[in-house]
Amino acid sequence: MSRSTDLDRFLATDPQDGGCEHALELLHVYATLVADDVGAAERHPEIAAHLRACGPCAEDLDALLEAIHPAGSGATDG
C-alpha cells in the first residue's frame, strides 16, 4: 500500500471508531441488540463506526446474526 493511500485511509477513519479489539470484546452484545432491534448503533456508536470501516469485523457480526436467527427460521433481521 502506498504512503498516500495509508494517509487517506487514516484521515477517513471515523474518530468514534473503537477499533477491532474493542469491537470484538462486545460484538456478541452488539449482535444481540441488533437482533432485538433496540438501537445497537445508538448504544455503541464506537462499534457501529468500526463496523462501517472494517469488513472482517462486519463479517463476524453477520455470522453472529446468522447464528441468532438462521436463514429460513422465520425470524427477521432487525
Tens digit of each residue's pLDDT (9 = 90 or more) over 30-73: 999 999 999 999 999 999 999 998 999 999 999 999 999 887 65
Position 11 confidence tier, pLDDT thresholds 50, 70, 90: low
Looking at per-residue pLDDT, the higher value among 13 and 11 belongs to 13
Position 19 confidence tier, pLDDT thresholds 50, 70, 90: confident
- Is this structure's pTM higher than 0.85? no
In this predicted structure, the answer to whether residue 13 has a pLDDT above a threshold of 90 is no
- Tell me which DSSP letter residue 71 carries: T
In Å, the largest CA–CA distance within the chain is: 48
H-assigned helices in 1-78:
3-12, 19-35, 40-43, 45-53, 55-68
For 69, the 3-state DSSP assignment is coil
- For the chain, strand residue ranges (E) read none
